[in-house]
Chains A and B, each alone.
Chain A
Amino acid sequence: MDVQRAREQLFQKDETFGFIEREEALHAFLSADVPAGQAERAVSALEFILSRLSCPAEPEGIVGRMVEGPVPYEMEPVAGNGFSHVGNPFQPRTRCAGHLTLDLKDLLSKGLSGIVREMEAHAESDAQKQYAAYCRRAVEAVKSFCLRYADSAERAGNTHAAEALRTVPYGPAYDFFSAVQSIWMIEWVLSCVTGGRDFAYGRLDLVLLPYYRKEEDPANYEVLLSFLLKNNEIGGMNSDLLNMQPVPCTGTNIYAMLGGKGAEEALPLSLLILRAAEEVHLMQPVLALRIAKDSPKEWKLAAARVTQNLSGQVSFYNDDAIIPNLLDLGFTEEHALNYTMSGCNRADFPGHMSSDMYDNAPACLLRAFMDPEVTDMDGILRRFREEMEKEAGRKMGCVYTDPETDPRFFFESLFLRGCPERVRDIENGGQDQWTLVHHLCGLATAGNSLAAIEKAVFEDHVLTLPEFRELVKNNFETDPKLHLFIRNRYPKFGNDDPFADHWTRVACEIMVDAVRSLNGTDGSGHIHIPGLYSLWFHHRFGEALGATPDGRLAGEPISENQSPVYGTDREGIAALLHSLGSLPMEKTGCGGLNVRLQSRLPEEMLSAMVDTYFEMGGVNIAVDVVSRETLIDALEHPERHQTLCVRIVGYSEIFVRLPRYMQQELIDRTPLTA
């Protein structure tokens, strides 16, 4: 397989092109009599679109590709319609828009037909029978499409794909190739046809292991190469915030979890996937590598090698922290052991829908600090806790419609636990809402602010609390010298400084406890999982927030993920990790830490660093290796760095295709040297 050529084609493709055949099919579908009712409309649209798509096939490897071309319609994309220019017959949707981990085991062992047969057998009520019939129509449509694709593959000389597609995904997978082909076809239909992004594979090595065992063939490596390349074909190569490709799965981030407890037997396959990912060297899928203290040395070293070679595509998750943390939050042993990650940094479980929300800690702290009734630190902390509890307790809408009166059909329901058993779509309550991940934003800003208040007002008596409030309210304009001093010289989180770390720990306890206190008390039935993660909300929240006591000015971003405020961690990686290790990570279930190394470390050293950090209780760490000088050069000479991948918040992107403010943020991220 010519990986180099495939990569070049991806980098050269026109990012203004949409899935033209889908658009045309949608146009034709919506121009005729459109059935009323979401379920009937969605199934009919799926049937119609699949019948109209052509089947471009490569001569080798797995197949499944969208024809792309300029979208002829003059109009702008229809808002909220996943970049269709003509409308979206799959609407309305309240919950299903991707961002979940598919349960692929049943797909591979039973095939679509097996899943639907069970639904038909379980269906009792009219609504269930009707739903089973919708599912039957959908899988038959997929089957017909795959048979056409098989013929096309045959014509292209790809007998392997032709043979596979005559069986899967309709029937069970029978070897490694067919298993991978089956998974891709489902990912592809969900992402490109019905339209959604971030459908994660879960523990990919374990999912594929039975088929890998059947046939340990050197050709498996080539299959993986073609599969990994395909993951990069569909969502566009541009940043999901700039020049997004006008396709329904634009900017998709497809997470694959590898290794960890329970995957020991899959080690050869896990390593093979890593090797293939290194050769493909693109952004998708995002690799989440589970590491336990007793993981094989070979796995740890390979992980350390790959994370530096792929620079940003990889992150490590600590089994020894996350599994007990999830058990403590109330998950079963089976779930905790099989945790996975989807959509950036969400603790997830195959086949379960979860939701997430972003909680703004610095805004809560600022409200507490500004309360004129408060006169001491205890008062500030009490008010901060109240504000955090309010913030975390915001209600998340979760509306199921009645299957009798408003039946729904979403293709992904076939891969979600509960829906096949209940014979009910996810939007009709096929699965109970189960987990809600709270991404707690701005930890370091909050911690540094508490430290600054304590030091300035209560320890050094530089100014009184009302004076400090006034100074913060006027954006530090009345005392620029004190502002500089607070900003640059006051203790800051991330330096193994006991004072700053203490106050950051205090902030962190309040933040995570506000989330955990909802468990079993808010009447939602959800398990609320706290995690320290910000995605891009550190910008959004920062823009709307006034100055904070740590010296951050109004409008500046709050701190990102678990990171210190950029530029304030001056003592290097060991100090940074000690600071993080002092946080109550055992109360969290996920979260992200990005560190950027100025230059490569030997694999043994990086692995030792991760082991040490995880022993301290760290939950996650992602390392990318790119020097500040390289980033600055890429900013000035983008033509020289067309393929430079960098870690952003929870995944990687091509540096030169990011908006300028993000590029600057990455340059500002403290480079760590060793």
Chain B
Amino acid sequence: MKGLITRIQRFSTTNGPGLRTTVFMKGCPLRCLWCHNPETQKMKRELLYYEETCTRCGSCAEACPKGVHIFQDGKHVFLRENCVLCGACADVCPVRALELSGEEIEAEELVTRLLRDRAFYEHSGGGITLSGGEPLFQPAFTEEVLRRCKAEGIHTCVDTSGAGVSCDTVARFTREGLADLWLYDLKETDEERHRAATGVPFTPILRNLETIGEAHGKLRLRCPVIPGVNDREEHMEKIGEIAEKVPGVLAIDLVPYHRLGLVKAEALGEQQKTFEALPETRKKALLGRLQEKTDIPSSWI
């Protein structure tokens, strides 16, 4: 069973307990306005071009079979629409200004790579986390990776948006103990606003969350707080109410906006909206409002 991933981040400390290795998988049903990992959205390989890094050496033009890299008047013009994603240019770029995102990998091979850091997991109470993108967008691959990890006794987390997947799947994953912990995104709690901010409805996401809770899954809510999008008291209150209602919620993480997605979106030839950072006082106030509604541990990460 093959899957498509973008990268493997080792020694990660913010994607579940202990020291972990996080796999970022490709493909996502959501199109969040602030997406932190835009290179994971599409379920296909993509070429990122970092213009500022390029030294205009021309190696890519020499290597490209389709002539999509053209150097005119000292400028590097990339004809993205003609690119066949062979990766020849990325292989020869001496400064990594070109990067092919999307590696096809066998589940077995991926797990072998994940086991490399087993000692870090064992010493720290860590494990592996499947993230993305949306890991449940490739359900069969995700299932095989998780099964293999569980067979090795490795703690597993699935970082999901809860969108584009059936209740049956999340229920089964939970019942069969494939995910020791769900990192479950709550991006917006108002139906209309959710659609506007992410492109998909909220109701099925909430239903999947409840399904996991009812199946005795363990949950950690992950709530990106984006200024002007969802930095509202009532959203915080709603998160608190949901956390109280759904069984199995162990903690709530408020995730601040960061701009790393902007650079990658630009390298993909896309435009992403920018947002300002939330002032500390505002962050404190929002967390305070959440904590009025629930005693479940919550913090900014």
On A, residues with C-beta under 8 Å from B are 480-481, 484-485, 487-489, 496, 571-575, 578, 601-602, 604-605, 608-609, 611-612, 615-616, 672, 674
On whether the beta carbons of A605 and B13 are closer than 8 Å, the reply is yes
Q: Chain B contacts of A578 at CB under 8 A? A: 116
On whether the beta carbons of A574 and B117 are closer than 8 Å, the reply is yes
Q: Chain A contacts of B11 at CB under 8 A? A: 572-574, 609, 672, 674
Q: Chain A contacts of B55 at CB under 8 A? A: 484
Task: Tell me whether B297 is interfacial, beta carbon within 8 Å.
Answer: no
On whether the beta carbons of A488 and B94 are closer than 8 Å, the reply is yes
Bound-state CA distance A672–B12 (Å) is 11
On whether the beta carbons of A602 and B59 are closer than 8 Å, the reply is no
Q: Contact flags (1/0) for B58-76 with A, using CB distance below 8 Å?
A: 0100000000000000000
CB within 8 A of A605: which of B19, B21, B92, B117? B19
| 22 A-B contacts (beta carbon < 8 Å) | A481-B59, A484-B57, A484-B95, A489-B93, A489-B94, A571-B10, A573-B10, A573-B11, A574-B19, A574-B21, A574-B116, A604-B18, A605-B13, A605-B19, A608-B123, A609-B19, A609-B120, A612-B124, A616-B119, A672-B11, A674-B11, A674-B14
Task: Tell me whether B9 is interfacial, beta carbon within 8 Å.
Answer: yes
Q: Contact flags (1/0) for B104-138 with A, using CB distance below 8 Å?
A: 00000000000011011001111000000000000
Residue of A nearest to B94 (CB): A484
Q: State the interface size on chain B (CB cutoff 8 A).
A: 25
Task: Tell me whether B96 is interfacial, beta carbon within 8 Å.
Answer: yes
Q: Chain B contacts of A609 at CB under 8 A? A: 11, 19, 120, 123-124
Shortest CB-to-CB span from A7 to chain B, Å, is 28
Residue of A nearest to B93 (CB): A489
On whether the beta carbons of B120 and A612 are closer than 8 Å, the reply is yes
7 cross-chain pairs, A with B, having the tightest CB-CB distances, nearest first: A608-B124, A484-B94, A608-B123, A574-B10, A574-B11, A485-B94, A674-B13
Bound-state CA distance A609–B57 (Å) is 41
Bound-state CA distance A573–B9 (Å) is 10
Q: Chain B contacts of A496 at CB under 8 A? A: 116
Bound-state CA distance A485–B57 (Å) is 11
Bound-state CA distance A674–B92 (Å) is 29
Q: Chain B contacts of A616 at CB under 8 A? A: 119
Q: Chain A contacts of B96 at CB under 8 A? A: 488-489
Max chain A C-beta neighbours (<10 A), residue from B10, B11, B19: B11
Shortest CB-to-CB span from A195 to chain B, Å, is 46
Q: Chain A contacts of B124 at CB under 8 A? A: 604-605, 608-609, 612
Q: Chain B contacts of A480 at CB under 8 A? A: 57
On whether the beta carbons of A572 and B9 are closer than 8 Å, the reply is yes
CB within 8 A of A674: which of B12, B116, B117, B123? B12
* B:185-206 near A, CB below 8 Å: none
Residue of A nearest to B13 (CB): A674
Shortest CB-to-CB span from B142 to chain A, Å, is 22
CB within 8 A of B19: which of A481, A484, A608? A608
Shortest CB-to-CB span from B179 to chain A, Å, is 22
Shortest CB-to-CB span from A571 to chain B, Å, is 7
Bound-state CA distance A611–B124 (Å) is 9
Residue of A nearest to B113 (CB): A496
CB within 8 A of A612: which of B9, B13, B93, B123? B123
Q: Chain B contacts of A612 at CB under 8 A? A: 19, 119-120, 123-124
Bound-state CA distance A578–B120 (Å) is 11
Shortest CB-to-CB span from A305 to chain B, Å, is 16
Residue of A nearest to B124 (CB): A608
Bound-state CA distance A572–B8 (Å) is 11
Q: Chain A contacts of B9 at CB under 8 A? A: 572
Q: Chain A contacts of B120 at CB under 8 A? A: 574, 608-609, 612
Shortest CB-to-CB span from A498 to chain B, Å, is 11
Bound-state CA distance A572–B117 (Å) is 12
Shortest CB-to-CB span from A352 to chain B, Å, is 35
- Other contacts beyond A489-B94, A489-B96, A601-B13: 8, CB < 8 A: A481-B59, A484-B94, A488-B95, A572-B9, A574-B19, A608-B19, A608-B124, A674-B12
Shortest CB-to-CB span from A427 to chain B, Å, is 48
Shortest CB-to-CB span from B64 to chain A, Å, is 16
Bound-state CA distance A484–B95 (Å) is 7
Shortest CB-to-CB span from A585 to chain B, Å, is 16
The answer to whether A485 and B19 touch (CB under 8 A), given A572-B9, A608-B123, is no
Bound-state CA distance A604–B96 (Å) is 35
Shortest CB-to-CB span from B261 to chain A, Å, is 16
On whether the beta carbons of B13 and A485 are closer than 8 Å, the reply is no
On whether the beta carbons of A485 and B92 are closer than 8 Å, the reply is yes
CB within 8 A of B13: which of A487, A571, A575, A602? A602
Bound-state CA distance A616–B14 (Å) is 24
Residue of B nearest to A480 (CB): B57
Bound-state CA distance A489–B117 (Å) is 24
Residue of A nearest to B118 (CB): A612
Bound-state CA distance A190–B65 (Å) is 73
Bound-state CA distance A496–B13 (Å) is 19
Shortest CB-to-CB span from B135 to chain A, Å, is 21
On whether the beta carbons of A572 and B59 are closer than 8 Å, the reply is no
CB within 8 A of B123: which of A484, A611, A672? A611
Bound-state CA distance A488–B93 (Å) is 9
On whether the beta carbons of B57 and A481 are closer than 8 Å, the reply is yes
Q: Chain A contacts of B14 at CB under 8 A? A: 674
Shortest CB-to-CB span from B260 to chain A, Å, is 11
Residue of B nearest to A551 (CB): B94
Q: Chain A contacts of B119 at CB under 8 A? A: 612, 615-616
Shortest CB-to-CB span from A403 to chain B, Å, is 55
Bound-state CA distance A602–B95 (Å) is 34
Residue of A nearest to B12 (CB): A674
Q: Chain A contacts of B13 at CB under 8 A? A: 601-602, 605, 674
On whether the beta carbons of B94 and A481 are closer than 8 Å, the reply is yes
Q: Chain A contacts of B18 at CB under 8 A? A: 604-605, 608
Q: Chain A contacts of B116 at CB under 8 A? A: 496, 574, 578
Bound-state CA distance A615–B117 (Å) is 12
Residue of B nearest to A575 (CB): B10
Q: Chain A contacts of B125 at CB under 8 A? A: 604, 608
Q: Chain A contacts of B12 at CB under 8 A? A: 674
Residue of A nearest to B126 (CB): A608
Q: Chain A contacts of B19 at CB under 8 A? A: 574, 605, 608-609, 612, 674
Residue of A nearest to B62 (CB): A481
Bound-state CA distance A411–B119 (Å) is 49
Shortest CB-to-CB span from A99 to chain B, Å, is 36
Bound-state CA distance A194–B77 (Å) is 70
Shortest CB-to-CB span from A582 to chain B, Å, is 12
Q: Chain B contacts of A571 at CB under 8 A? A: 10
Shortest CB-to-CB span from A283 to chain B, Å, is 28
Residue of B nearest to A484 (CB): B94
Shortest CB-to-CB span from A647 to chain B, Å, is 19
Bound-state CA distance A608–B17 (Å) is 12
Q: Chain B contacts of A608 at CB under 8 A? A: 18-19, 120, 123-126
Shortest CB-to-CB span from A614 to chain B, Å, is 10
Residue of B nearest to A674 (CB): B13
Q: Contact flags (1/0) for B27-58 with A, using CB distance below 8 Å?
A: 00000000000000000000000000001010
Residue of B nearest to A601 (CB): B13
Residue of B nearest to A616 (CB): B119
Bound-state CA distance A480–B116 (Å) is 36
Bound-state CA distance A573–B120 (Å) is 11
Bound-state CA distance A34–B18 (Å) is 68
Shortest CB-to-CB span from A580 to chain B, Å, is 14
Shortest CB-to-CB span from B15 to chain A, Å, is 10
Q: Chain B contacts of A573 at CB under 8 A? A: 10-11
Bound-state CA distance A488–B12 (Å) is 25
Shortest CB-to-CB span from B284 to chain A, Å, is 20
Q: Chain A contacts of B126 at CB under 8 A? A: 608
Q: Chain A contacts of B95 at CB under 8 A? A: 484, 488
Bound-state CA distance A481–B11 (Å) is 34
Shortest CB-to-CB span from A503 to chain B, Å, is 20
Bound-state CA distance A388–B117 (Å) is 34
Bound-state CA distance A155–B94 (Å) is 72
Bound-state CA distance A608–B119 (Å) is 9
